[in-house]
Amino acid sequence: MALFLFNGQRSWKAWRNSKKEKAAHITLRRRLETIEGEARILGVMPDGSSQLQFDFSPPTSANSFVCPANVRPRDDDVGPVEIVIEDEEIDMDLLNFQSISIAQAPASLPFHISPANPTSFSSRLLAYKPHLDDFVLLSFLGQGAYGKVYLVSNNETNEVFAMKCMKKADIVKQNVVNYAHHERSVLIAASHPFIVHLRYAFQTPQKLYLILDYIPGGELFSRLNAENFFLESMAVFYSAEIVCALSHLHTQDIIYRDLKPENLMIHSDGHICLTDFGLAKRLDVNGTQTMCGTLAYLAPEVISKKVPYGKPADWWSLGVLLYEMLSGRIPFDSANRNTLQKKIMNQKLSFPKHITNTAKSILKKLLCRDPSARLGSSGDEQVKTHPFFASIKWGELEKKLITPPFIPDLTGPTDTRHFDLDITSRPLHSPTDEKSSFAESFQDHFKGFSFAR
């Protein structure tokens, strides 16, 4: 199984380096057309873009599902393609709820509404069984092939959340049931200041729902667009918080596998928040060989598939992201997927003139093609003690005692100004809304998704 995110027919450099095009990047990429019907879209991302999955493995059991044989990656020179669904269907399953979910004590947020007695409130939350009609839709935030993301508020508490909805039929059809369960399980295990908090998980006969903290400051991607590239001090701060988040996951043997600026949100207090855990996985002693993630950020060992990979793959992705923060472009770039893979595997690393020697040092060590020699391969302390992070007091950072370089301007808990207006202005209701049928026999795939902590 391989899961990729590709760009349109223009190169990463054209998308990421042209200031004019960067400002319109999110809007343009949603309008790319399907080419020759050879691609299928999977996944839900905050900006509405999608990820492509191709499964060529034969079924291993009667309950296995694979993508159709005609769904395959392009191997020609036209260039890799990203396709995004344009339908405006809104999913409102107000029937036969199989409820309930995890409930966590509310996180501390500037606009958080909570009762005077947190202890009794937490006890009440643990007994709370959410239903879809407990939430009011406020705004549309993102869309993918089998799900959507909304800004919602709770009828009882007025708390604001992001609600991720996933269609069971599409999840089963595309053979990504495990990804849905992995995402929920990882979010439950990952309680950290720089990782999005999962509040509830529940299901209806047609859909799976994740209720998450709403992160109103928008994507780091958008901030990078606005700045073109970050000053080193800004890159140090953001990358240090990312190191903390990855370190927390790695201590639980969880590999993230999709680090990129689109999956990093800026909270109302200016701190980083890692989101979208659809590709995260708990590792066993043998590692994993699934080629998944966003191609430009994939480590060489992930692409080669010669041996199982593990946590060092996340540190490579951090190197790509840090390079992008410091320079405004990715280190390896091509419009063609095969060429991009070859560059990741073989091209010599080069740097813009303004990159400091300290920054070059950490980038070279993070972007080391030998995972056993890569910075972080012996643990996160290797990364934290690099001179690039000499100014960081890690204990204070994790307690959010260091002032962020950027605080988003917000008017209230439902402010969406830091998200793409073309997405948030989409209508919440559609006359094409239809209830999809889903075989009762497939409900067993989702047993255990809904539960109480």
Instruction: Report the catalytic residues.
Output: 258
CB 58 within 8 A of CB 7: no
Task: Number of helices (H) and strands (E) in the chain: give both, helices first.
Answer: 15, 12
DSSP string, 244-286: HHHHHHHHTTEE----SGGGEEE-TTS-EEE---TT-EE--TT
Which residues 6+ apart lie within 8 Å of 48 measured at CB?
26, 30, 84, 142, 143, 144, 420, 423
Residues 6+ apart with CB under 8 A from 25: 15, 16, 225
Give the CA distances from residue 427 to residues 49, 89, 90, 133, 139, in Å, rounded to whole numbers and listed in that order. 18, 10, 9, 19, 8
> Is 167 annotated among the ligand-binding residues?
no
Alpha-helix runs per DSSP H in 109-176 = 118-126, 168-173
Distance CA 322, CA 319 (A): 5
Cα separations (Å) of 191 from 48, 251, 379?
26, 12, 20
* Other CB atoms within 10 A of residue 287 CB: 16
Residue 76 burial (10 A CB sphere; 0-12, 13-18, 19+): exposed
8 A C-beta contact, residue 183 and residue 278: yes
46, with CB counted inside 10 A (0-12, 13-18, 19+), is: buried
* Burial (0-12, 13-18, 19+ Cβ within 10 Å), 437: exposed
**404: DSSP letter:** P
Token pair of 286 as six digits: 């043998």
Report how far residue 65's alpha carbon sits from residue 177's, in angstroms, rounded to the nearest whole number: 10
The Cα diameter of the chain in Å comes to 62
In the chain, what are the helix, strand and coil shares in percent, each to the nearest 5? 30, 15, 55
**Cα 183 from Cα 178, distance rounded (Å):** 9
CB 349 within 8 A of CB 331: yes
Rounded distance, CA 163 to CA 140, Å? 10
Binding-site residues from annotation: 164
Binding-site residues from annotation for ATP: 164
